[in-house]
Amino acid sequence: MSSAPLILSVETATLGGSVCVTRGSAVLAFNVGEPRVSHSHTLLNDINRALVESKSHLGKVDLFAVAIGPGSFTGLRIGIATIKGLAAALERLCAGVPSLQAVAHAAGTSESTVSLLPAGRGEVFAQMFSISAEGIVTELDAVAHISPQRMLERYSGIANIRWAGEGAHLYRGIIKDWRKRLGQPFLEKPGESERIVAGHGWMLAPRESNLARHVAALALSKLEQNQLDTPSNLRAIYVRPSDAELNKGAHCQTNSQ
């Protein structure tokens, strides 16, 4: 493997998702998916397009990286299965990167970033991290599957928070209203972040459509720390049962009555 590994990273935890090819920390090519189209219809084409645009091919990939959740159940299964298959066929190692860590990394340096992804049924996947200037992501609590109301109660005592991810943008109105009732600002525009000095305030991090880039960055860190997975060991982080599993459980309970 060269000193700067060629990394193919895939993020299918979100609806649109993304694919990125990097050489070390340098982005060579990427593309962002269409939220209204299933990853099963587009992922292989997106991978091929990114490789072509980077003037590379699968045989030259040193490391395969993938977001492992939480997130869309179907999307995660498609992304992880694809990366497992490619890595196994080429006898390469993999890096499984938690989706919420990639979201936090995308939001930049922060003492307290809350990553949020929609979980369906009006709920979110939430977790708090700190992100160093070197891009090291550290968990500050455990991932939770929670309602926006309970999420706000969970983090209400923290003075300085950077809210990141699609869940933060989806529920920005609820977060803003919560802060307004407390007489505190919620900064929603990038330029407003300059008003948070030495730290007391909540702000919304800009959207990042190319999360695969941040999956690659965290995968590179895993490589440097010798924390890679074999394809067979790659597992998804689901946090909660899928709707199909919940419906099956309810059906079995009804039949047993």
**What band does 195 get if pLDDT is binned at 50, 70 and 90?**
low
Mean pLDDT over the full length of the chain: 90
Go through the domains of the chain in sequence order and give each one's CATH number: 6-99+209-248 (3.30.420.40), 108-204 (3.30.420.40)
Beta-carbon count within 10 A of 252 CB: 9
Confidence (pTM): 0.90
The tens digit of pLDDT for each residue in 61-82 reads 999 999 999 999 999 999 999 9
pLDDT at 167: 97
Contact status, residue 211 vs residue 67, Cβ threshold 8 Å: yes
Cα gap 213→233, rounded to integer Å: 23
Average pLDDT over every residue of 106-120 = 96
Strand partners, 129: 113, 139
The tens digit of pLDDT for each residue in 121-147 reads 999 999 999 999 999 999 999 999 999
